[in-house]
């Protein structure tokens, strides 16, 4: 998350009681159209006026894909969703393996992103069930437990270690969605 803040700015201003003495600038994202460069809005905390800046899209980066994001921790889902929406992806969230299977059976997704360690159903079991339903479905696992993956049957197409950098996620997305 810190790499996001360094790259794109702090998405939420801190409350006044935190002790900031200098005014900060807030950087927010304006949803881009699929054919235009990404537009960033920079808002001055002093004047409340927004200045629009253009940032060219990342070359070769897939955009506008439907992604099923599965993690039992809401704050982790929110952080990853923020990153994915920067690249104009539609993100549908599930907080468990069974909820993800229910969503997957009712809809089409370009990619499934899951974590490994979840209650009820581990990420590798979810990936195996998804692959039974749709063998060509790309599945990316984001986990801090790569050591446990060596012992588990893990039919995923890519693994990303937590914590990760935005460029690493984008690189894996490009590989899996090309």
pTM (predicted TM-score): 0.66
Do residues 85 and 38 both lie within one domain? no
Q: Which of 114, 102, 90 is nearest to 162 (CA)?
A: 114
Do residues 94 and 114 both lie within one domain? yes
Do residues 42 and 95 both lie within one domain? no
Do residues 71 and 50 both lie within one domain? no
Cα distance from N-terminal residue to C-terminal residue, the chain: 26
- In this predicted structure, what is the pLDDT of residue 60? 60
- In this predicted structure, what is the pLDDT of residue 59? 55
Query: CB under 8 Å, gap of 24 or more: what pairs does 96-99 form?
Result: 96/70, 96/72, 96/120, 96/121, 97/70, 97/121, 97/122, 97/123, 97/125, 97/126, 97/129, 99/70
- In this predicted structure, what is the pLDDT of residue 150? 67
Domain membership flag for residue 14? no
pLDDT tens for each residue of 64-96:
899 999 999 999 999 999 999 999 999 999 999
**Quick one: DSSP state of residue 49?**
-
Show the domain range for 32: 20-57
- In this predicted structure, what is the pLDDT of residue 129? 96
Q: Taking a C-beta distance cutoff of 8 angstroms, is the pair 115, 72 a contact? A: yes
The tally of domains found in the chain comes to 2
Do residues 29 and 116 both lie within one domain? no
The two beta strands, 50-55 and 158-161, are unpaired
Q: Give the residue ranges of the chain where pLDDT is below 50.
A: 2, 4-5, 10-57
- In this predicted structure, what is the pLDDT of residue 14? 43
Q: What is the CATH number of the domain that holds 168?
A: 3.40.50.2300
What are the start-end ranges of the H helices in the chain?
2-8, 74-86, 97-106, 123-133, 146-149, 166-177
């Amino acid at each position: 998350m810190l790499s996001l803040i360094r790259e794109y700015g702090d998405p939420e201003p801190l409350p006044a009681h935190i002790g900031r003495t200098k005014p900060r600038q807030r950087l927010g994202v304006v949803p881009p159209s699929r054919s235009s460069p990404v537009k960033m809005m920079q808002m001055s905390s002093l004047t409340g006026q927004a200045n629009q800046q253009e940032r060219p899209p990342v070359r070769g980066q897939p955009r506008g894909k439907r992604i099923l994001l599965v993690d039992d921790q809401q704050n982790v889902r929110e952080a990853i969703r923020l990153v994915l929406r920067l690249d104009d992806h539609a993100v549908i969230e599930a907080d468990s393996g069974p909820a993800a299977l229910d969503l997957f059976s009712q809809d089409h997704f370009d990619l499934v992103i899951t974590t490994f360690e979840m209650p009820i159903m581990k990420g590798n079991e979810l990936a195996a069930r998804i692959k039974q339903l749709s063998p060509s479905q790309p599945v990316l696992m984001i986990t801090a437990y790569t050591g446990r993956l060596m012992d588990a049957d893990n039919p995923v197409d890519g693994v990303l270690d937590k914590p990760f950098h935005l460029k690493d996620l984008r690189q894996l997305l490009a590989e899996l969605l090309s």
